[in-house]
Chain A
């Protein structure tokens, strides 16, 4: 779709919202819809579904090849399939997704046009956050579905730990929201597509260090790792889960605040 058409869409939708008592909520919905229009025919979903598929294949092969050394079970399979995905590759992929969401705005004079849209800055940032969170949701759902299928194909002993997997994936998604929000701030500020991706990979590595140092529940890039718990597959417990959720909310809120304030105060800069 041409950029002119996209911008006309957001203008039409947002102009129609003026005067509505639910203007702000509807503004966010309009922005989310516009983000979805921008992503139409983009191959981005494929990458978020495909990388976990590669991780599943490799993890399954590793599990099958090391049954003598591993304790056979769903825990070992989960660990093999998600360990490196959560530590390095999913943060980097989230970084790529965040850069992609802002790329369109950084092109040509789109930034000026974005700033003149009749919607609050938080709606623009919030819409990108919602769409970015959908990317990680696709990746995590793909991981979960493929984990189930591969487990049954490999004949993993024991009953499927449904509640644990749902809990881990939900907490992992909460953790991924923090990474998405922080990466959106970086990608909004840095016009270079690639640089924020390097920062995401670096963040993932720092996240491991933070987890090893016992401060994994505090650092944004560790929250996904702590939530998914790929190394130990031990339930965090109610207290640990609450801490993770609270920290995720704090990181997301902090990143949104920084992002929105930056959008509000830097819109007049010549870019």
Chain B
């Protein structure tokens, strides 16, 4: 099947190329229209779009790819030709994105990720189902099972799960925030306020004040509209979510309108993080993120890392961990606390922050501020003590674990052989208490957002941990030569 001559993309490719460039041009166009609004700008925009479309058409005929024995070769470029060789062994992820239009034409956009950089190494826009199957077979990712017939999924989310996920994640908050920003930018909030005031006299007759309307609206938005919107957005994104392990790779697919499919090679997972918000804990749920080297700073690519498992019962987290890092278990983990005196230092730090905020509050709200500050004092101390108690680390077999947080809890696990750099740091305050912090760096773009950075350790312990992790790591690496 691997042929020596290059393969063309799907004939519909220029269409999608134009779509994607038009999408990025829309912003420029809208901005230009707002700025000038003359006929000439419209003509210029049309010309730019048409020119871009023509260029994409030419580009289609000059783009080809080839599946060799050990590498994928992608050649493109109108003026400057670029031939890119991607060894199969370096491919980290293969992501497919399929919007309703893609589905109508039976094609997908293919994104190939390697460990380098934030951008996908190659984007094949677009390939037919058959070409994708050939590509996957060539890369050696799919043994015999064609798409569809797979092993039993590790995680499968029902609509109920998605509703819970929508409520827990409160995805809409971000969108509403952005929308409010835009509204405010264009001065629309004033208009809304004005129209509200227009309503007011009518209602005042019924004995309802403007403030009451405001409060009522706020409550409705907060308790009804935001959650509803969150659930809708979550269902759109994660509908039909399944996570399957197929030999050495995980396959993840989801999406209502735009379908998204991703493969993550097990060996490439650098770290795994189990997260729980208070709501998660209340509902006994957790979410799992993973870190792979390179790629995925934004956009859909993030789904496979940020939402490796968007939501699952918290007692199943250990199961997923064992699937990702075989032989690593969350049971019988001996969590080691921070150094003696860590809690006292953290309280001291929290009190200094509290004092500064209190002074501000007192200056602004006078006696009320002072009162508020003292009401919050026990909360601050309680929160700090809880933080210090929960923050701990563990080593169990090849695994290094770190957990932290009071409200938002995160437990991050990596393997000794995945460690890149180990560092021990001491600041002047650390030195006074003979403390130090230990940072364990792994590869990855950081979608986990919970680095293994253990503060307030006894200095000697931090040093011996550093040496021990390094020697175990080099030992492990010399035993199995594969680098990550």
Are A and B subunits of one complex?
A: no
Write the residues of chain B forming the contact surface with A, with a CB cutoff of 8 angstroms.
Answer: none
Write the residues of chain A forming the contact surface with B, with a CB cutoff of 8 angstroms.
Answer: none
